[in-house]
C-alpha cells in the first residue's frame, strides 16, 4: 500500500475535465498554452523559455529519434507535442480529457499530419498495444485516480525496449501531519488531484507495471520559481483587473479557488512539502 496524499473525496474524471475547461481562459492568460513548470538552467530565462527547457529535457531523456512514434498522455493544449514534432521530427499522438484543450490542440496542429489528438481517459486509451516508441506524461499522472492503471497503460502502449518519461508533482517522503492537512490535502482537493505520491512510490509503481532501468532526477530547485511567478501574476491581475476580481466572487465559477491554491503550492515548495521529479524508464 502507498502512503499517497489524497483528498477525502476523490475527484471524478468529469471533475478533472471540468477543472481544465472552467479554468481555460485563466490558465492560458497566466501561463500560455504549455501548461508545465518552467525549468531554469541559467536562472535568467523568461518563463516561456524555461517551460520550453522542460519540454526539451523530456525529449532528451526519452532519446527521441526522427520518425519515432510518441504518445503524450495528458497532452493539454498540445504545445509539447508540436514542439517535439517540429524540433525532433517525431510523430506524436496526444491524449487529453478536456474538451477545450482538445479543440485548441486540434486547431493549433492546423493540418500537421505528424501530430494527432484524441479526447479520452488516458488510463483507457483504446490505442493499439506496442504501438509507440516513447510514452510521455508531463504533470498529468497527478490527475489519474489509479496511478497503477496509468503506468500499466503506458507499459501496454510501448513497444519492447520503448522509453517512458514522466514529470510529476511529488510529496516529500513521509510528509508531516500539518503539511498534509494545511498544504497537500487542500492542494489535491482544489486542484482536482486524486492523489500525490513521493518519488519512492512512483518508482514502486513503475516497477510494478513492468518497467526497468528506472532513473529519477529531482528538479525541484530548478522549477519552483514557476510558482513565485504565478503568485505575482495573480496578485497583479487581482489589483489591476476588475473583471478578474468579479470572476473570483462569482459562485458560478466553480474552480475559482485555484487562484488561492497558487499561493498554497508556492508555500509547499518553499517548505519542501512538495517536490518535482523526472522519471525515465524502459519497457
Sequence-distant (6+) residues with CB within 8 A of 179 are 172, 268, 271, 273
Cβ neighbours for 161, distance < 8 A, ≥ 6 positions apart:
282, 283
Residue 216 lies in a domain: yes
Burial, 124: exposed, middle or buried (Cβ in 10 Å; 0-12, 13-18, 19+)?
Answer: exposed
Residue numbers of the domain that contains 114:
13-162+195-282
**Is residue 88 domain-resident?**
yes
Higher pLDDT, 6 or 55: 55
Average pLDDT over residues 250-270: 87
Looking at the predicted structure, is the pLDDT value of residue 275 above 90?
yes
* Residue-level pLDDT at 14: 80
pLDDT value for 206: 98
Residue 209: give its domain's CATH number. Answer: 3.40.50.150
Domain membership of residue 178 (yes or no) is: no
Q: Could you tell me what percent of the chain has a pLDDT over 90?
A: 78
Domain assignment present for residue 168? The answer is no
What is the distance of C-alpha 107 from the center of its chain?
A: 21
Q: pLDDT at residue 127 above 50?
A: yes
User: Residue 1: pLDDT band by 50, 70, 90 thresholds?
Assistant: very low
Residue 173 is assigned to a structural domain of this protein: no
Q: Evaluate if residue 255 carries a pLDDT over 90.
A: no
The C-alpha cell 513521509 sits at: 174
What's the pTM? 0.93
Task: Tell me the three cell numbers of residue 29.
Answer: 492568460
Indicate if the pLDDT at residue 138 is higher than 50: yes
Q: Which residues in 64-210 belong to E strands, given as ranges?
A: 69-73, 91-96, 115-119, 132-138, 158-171, 197-198
Q: Which residues, 6 or more positions from 226, have their beta carbon under 8 angstroms from its beta carbon?
A: 37, 38, 47, 50
172: in domain: no
Mean pLDDT of the chain: 92
Indicate whether 123 belongs to any domain: yes
Q: What is the mean pLDDT of residues 104-130?
A: 95
Does residue 67 fall inside a structural domain?
A: yes
pLDDT one-digit tens code per residue, 75-95 = 999 999 999 999 999 999 999
- Nearest-5° Cα angle at 22, 32 to 151: 75
pLDDT at 253: 79
* Residue-wise pLDDT tens digits, 181-226: 999 999 998 888 998 999 999 999 999 999 999 999 999 999 999 9
- How many residues are listed for the chain in this entry? 283
Q: From CA 7, how far away is CA 268, in angstroms rounded?
A: 16
- Count of domains observed in the chain: 1
Q: Which three cell numbers stand for residue 119?
A: 479526447
Confidence of residue 256 (pLDDT cuts 50, 70, 90): confident
Residues 229-250 pLDDT 10s: 999 999 998 999 998 888 888 8
CA distance 132 to 281: 14
Helix, strand, coil distribution of the chain in percent, nearest 5 = 50, 20, 30
User: Is a pLDDT exceeding 60 seen at residue 8?
Assistant: no
Residue 139 CB contacts under 8 Å (≥ 6 apart), including other chains: 35, 36, 37, 74, 167, 168, 169
Amino acid at each position: 500500500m502507498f502512503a499517497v496524499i489524497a483528498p477525502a473525496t476523490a475527484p471524478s474524471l468529469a471533475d478533472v475535465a471540468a477543472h481544465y475547461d472552467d479554468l481555460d481562459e485563466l490558465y492560458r492568460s497566466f501561463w500560455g498554452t504549455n501548461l508545465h513548470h518552467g525549468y531554469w538552467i541559467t536562472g535568467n530565462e523568461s518563463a516561456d523559455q524555461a517551460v520550453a527547457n522542460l519540454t526539451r529535457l523530456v525529449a532528451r531523456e526519452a532519446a527521441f529519434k526522427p520518425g519515432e512514434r510518441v504518445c503524450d498522455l495528458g497532452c493539454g493544449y498540445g504545445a509539447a507535442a508540436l514542439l517535439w514534432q517540429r524540433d525532433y521530427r517525431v510523430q506524436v499522438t496526444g491524449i487529453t480529457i478536456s474538451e477545450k484543450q482538445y479543440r485548441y490542440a486540434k486547431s493549433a496542429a492546423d493540418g500537421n499530419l505528424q501530430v494527432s489528438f484524441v479526447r479520452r481517459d488516458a488510463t483507457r486509451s483504446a490505442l493499439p498495444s506496442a504501438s509507440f516508441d516513447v510514452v510521455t506524461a508531463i504533470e498529468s499522472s497527478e490527475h489519474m485516480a489509479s496511478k497503477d492503471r496509468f503506468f500499466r497503460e503506458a507499459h501496454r502502449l510501448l513497444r519492447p525496449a520503448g522509453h517512458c518519461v514522466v514529470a510529476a508533482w511529488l510529496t516529500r517522503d513521509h510528509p508531516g501531519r500539518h503539511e498534509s492537512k494545511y498544504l497537500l490535502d487542500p492542494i489535491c482537493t482544489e486542484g482536482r488531484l486524486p492523489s500525490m505520491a513521493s518519488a519512492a512510490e512512483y518508482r514502486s509503481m513503475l516497477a510494478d507495471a513492468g518497467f526497468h532501468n528506472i532513473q529519477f532526477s529531482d528538479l525541484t530547485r530548478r522549477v519552483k520559481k514557476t510558482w513565485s511567478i504565478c503568485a505575482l501574476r495573480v496578485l497583479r491581475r487581482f489589483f489591476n483587473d476588475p473583471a478578474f476580481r468579479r470572476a473570483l466572487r462569482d459562485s458560478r465559477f466553480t474552480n475559482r479557488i485555484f487562484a488561492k491554491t497558487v499561493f498554497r503550492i508556492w508555500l509547499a515548495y518553499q517548505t519542501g512539502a512538495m517536490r518535482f521529479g523526472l522519471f525515465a524508464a524502459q519497457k
